[in-house]
Amino acid sequence: MLRFAPPLALFVLAVPLACGLLGTILPAFGFLPALGGRHLSVQPFADLFGQPGLWRSAVQALMIGLVTTAISLAMVAGFVCAWYGTRAFRLIQHLVSPLLAVPHAAAAFGFAFMIAPSGYLARLFSPWATGWERPPDLLIVNDPAGLALIAGLVIKEVPFLLLVTLAALPQVPALRSLRLSQSLGYGRMMGFMFTAWPALYRQIRLAVFAVIAYASANVDVAFILGPTTPQTLPVRLVGWMNDPELSMRFMACAGACLQIAVTASALAAWLVLERTVGPVAESICETGRRFRRDGVVRLVSGGMMATSAFLVFGGLGVLALWSVSGLWQFPSAFPDALSWRTWQRTGPALTGPLATTIIIALAATGISVAIALACLQRENETGRTGGNRALALVYLPLLVPQIGFLFGLQLLLIAGDADASWAALILVHVVFVLPYVFLSLSAPWRAYDRRYEAIAAALGAPAGRIFWRVRLPMLLRAVLVAAAVGFAVSVGQYLPTLLVGAGRFPTITTEAVALGSGGDRRVIGVYAFLQMLLPFVGFALATLVPALLFRNRRAIRGL
């Protein structure tokens, strides 16, 4: 049975991807019989290039992808190099890690509520410091240069890159490298940068590529924080895809091909950047400078991490506050009155999307955990990990822009009359949930001391009994944490739910994004609060269940 697990995982990940890409490329060249396109043509591309501001949208998507990744990586690298092995490192690590679970849209709304002209930061400093009695007329959110969008993406990508780096740290002799370089007279930060970071970077490279792909093709955060005239390419594409005029879909698919090219260009540009930065760093290293006086830089790098965590946490707090606020005038830092009115008013409309969100997330997570466990157990039996190629495959759905294959997948599902079905929706969620579950589970699974299994086998326990009675209970916490990660990923999915659900399966996330940053702050507060509450409940359960189950087993109860 287990023999079929790796092929099944391959099937689940690669088939939707391949079919989706094909289903995007054919209509882009005019072929889509269901909509009357029976002949290949380049008309969709001609239409696309006739759109006003198209190049600006495309170049902006490319730049946002690159700049977001560069800033996020610089923050994580700076922080790890400057603080690894200190108490502050552990503190900030614990502060930043939970942010991974916060859905992008909720973080983006919270961020907007912080930095907007009438947002919380302005209120905190008004009128005593700024003199503002009314919100200043500044375009901070949705600024034409996309700075708010970049910042909103950075605060979410930093926790991701940090966690991937933390997972890679044990595979690198980091502490010994640091001690060695320090005893040779190097400052802490550059000592680590020269000796340990290059090996670390090689380990997290695929994750960095995933950030580029995600940031250059993001829809939901760009819709909330991004520029509006014109919008970035991915946001415009979704608009065309959902246009009531069905013939627009040909052009949307041509646009999706352009998006793939944009993301590919961003990745190519990054490769060039890698080739330049590496030798430059090497030549600096060869000068032998020790960079002993790094106090200020270290403070800045730590401060940036803390600020980014503070902005997300603060934003989430402000969201929650808005959801229960009555009248709340500028520049008061606190509402004049608190009330449950918004919750009562939106309550009836919430239950449907809430149930849909939970059902899809539970099903997709359950399937993903089962497949990941089966693959890892197969690997355990055969002793083959599949190596880097398998890892690249797991990362594949994270490296292709979602739009690139979701458009095609939607069109194929419509053609097969299978769109807007529970099964299709759950399976498309699995495509995005499975990689995260697998990445989260594989490290603890492989780190497991196999001598426990040797002992159990020598005591006569058959393979099944060893799995269910020994390995699984001992790794229960890791499995539940991986499930919580998967659950959070599913809850946060916007585009797959919107496209494959064909708008008929509203979830908390699709409803929240649809409100946009200009909507009623109280209602946004309710939706975004629920959006962050669901993953939080998942992680709380992942901690509490083993703690209760193993309350009398000190070595593994966790709490």
Q: In angstroms, what is the minimal distance from the CB of 384 to other proteins?
A: 9
Q: In angstroms, what is the minimal distance from the CB of 467 to other proteins?
A: 13
Tell me which DSSP letter residue 146 carries: -
From candidates 271, 462, 464, 559, binder to other proteins by CB under 8 A: 462
**Taking CB under 8 A as the rule, does residue 469 contact other proteins?**
yes
Q: In angstroms, what is the minimal distance from the CB of 468 to other proteins?
A: 12
Tell me which stretch binds other proteins (CB under 8 A): 121-129, 268-276, 424-432, 456-464.
Answer: 456-464
Q: Is the dihedral of CA 164, 494, 527, 332 positive or negative?
A: positive
**Taking CB under 8 A as the rule, does residue 547 contact other proteins?**
no
Q: In angstroms, what is the minimal distance from the CB of 462 to other proteins?
A: 6
DSSP letter string over 422-435?
HHHHHHHHHHHHHH
Tell me which DSSP letter residue 100 carries: G
Extract the tokens encoding 154: 């950075």
**Taking CB under 8 A as the rule, does residue 550 contact other proteins?**
yes
Tell me which stretch binds other proteins (CB under 8 A): 18-26, 205-213, 399-407, 451-459.
Answer: 451-459
**Taking CB under 8 A as the rule, does residue 2 contact other proteins?**
no
**Taking CB under 8 A as the rule, does residue 452 contact other proteins?**
yes
Tell me if the bond preceding 397 is cis, omega within 30° of 0.
no
Nearest by Cα to 497 from 482, 512, 484, 483: 512
**Taking CB under 8 A as the rule, does residue 279 contact other proteins?**
no
Site map (CB under 8 A) of other proteins, residues 375-404, x = contact: --------x---------------------
Give the list of residues 6+ apart from residue 448 with CB closer than 8 angstroms, or none.
Answer: 471, 474, 475
Tell me which DSSP letter residue 288 carries: T
**Taking CB under 8 A as the rule, does residue 244 contact other proteins?**
no
Q: In angstroms, what is the minimal distance from the CB of 1 to other proteins?
A: 18
DSSP bridge partners of 37: 32
From candidates 35, 140, 461, 541, binder to other proteins by CB under 8 A: 461
**Taking CB under 8 A as the rule, does residue 470 contact other proteins?**
yes
Q: In angstroms, what is the minimal distance from the CB of 455 to other proteins?
A: 5
**Taking CB under 8 A as the rule, does residue 559 contact other proteins?**
no
From candidates 40, 454, 540, 544, binder to other proteins by CB under 8 A: 454
Alpha-carbon distances, residue 411 vs 25, 235, 534 (angstroms): 11, 18, 31
Q: In angstroms, what is the minimal distance from the CB of 451 to other proteins?
A: 5
CB nearer other proteins, residue 50 or residue 464: 464
Q: Which residue's structure tokens are 């809850």?
A: 491
Q: Is the dihedral of CA 122, 123, 129, 132 positive or negative?
A: positive
CB nearer other proteins, residue 74 or residue 474: 474
Quickly count: other Cβ atoms within 10 Å of residue 435's Cβ: 25
From candidates 455, 537, 540, 548, binder to other proteins by CB under 8 A: 455
**Taking CB under 8 A as the rule, does residue 3 contact other proteins?**
no
Cα–Cα distance measured from residue 545 to residue 526, given in angstroms and rounded to the nearest whole number: 28
Expressed in percent and rounded to 5, the helix, strand and coil fractions of the chain are 75, 0, 25
Tell me which stretch binds other proteins (CB under 8 A): 80-88, 172-180, 278-286, 550-558.
Answer: 550-558
Tell me which DSSP letter residue 418 carries: -
Work out the end-to-end distance of the chain between its first and last CA atoms, rounded to an integer number of angstroms.
Answer: 36
CB nearer other proteins, residue 555 or residue 559: 555
**Taking CB under 8 A as the rule, does residue 554 contact other proteins?**
yes
Cα–Cα distance measured from residue 195 to residue 202, given in angstroms and rounded to the nearest whole number: 13
Extract the tokens encoding 82: 């400057």
Nearest by Cα to 76 from 46, 97, 98: 97
What number of chain residues touch other proteins (CB under 8 A)? 24
CB nearer other proteins, residue 132 or residue 448: 448
Query: Residue 316's Cα: distance from chain center in Å?
Result: 17
Cα–Cα distance measured from residue 538 to residue 271, given in angstroms and rounded to the nearest whole number: 37
CB nearer other proteins, residue 475 or residue 483: 475
**Taking CB under 8 A as the rule, does residue 483 contact other proteins?**
no
Q: Which amino acid belongs to residue 182?
A: Q
Q: In angstroms, what is the minimal distance from the CB of 470 to other proteins?
A: 6
Tell me which stretch binds other proteins (CB under 8 A): 30-38, 232-240, 296-304, 473-481.
Answer: 473-481
Q: Which amino acid belongs to residue 205?
A: R
How large is the angle between the packed helices 147-168 and 87-96, nearest 10 degrees?
120
**Taking CB under 8 A as the rule, does residue 553 contact other proteins?**
yes
Nearest by Cα to 543 from 525, 555, 558, 521: 558
Tell me which stretch binds other proteins (CB under 8 A): 1-9, 151-159, 469-477, 513-521.
Answer: 469-477
Site of interaction with other proteins (CB under 8 A): 383, 449, 451-452, 454-462, 469-470, 473-474, 476, 550, 552-556
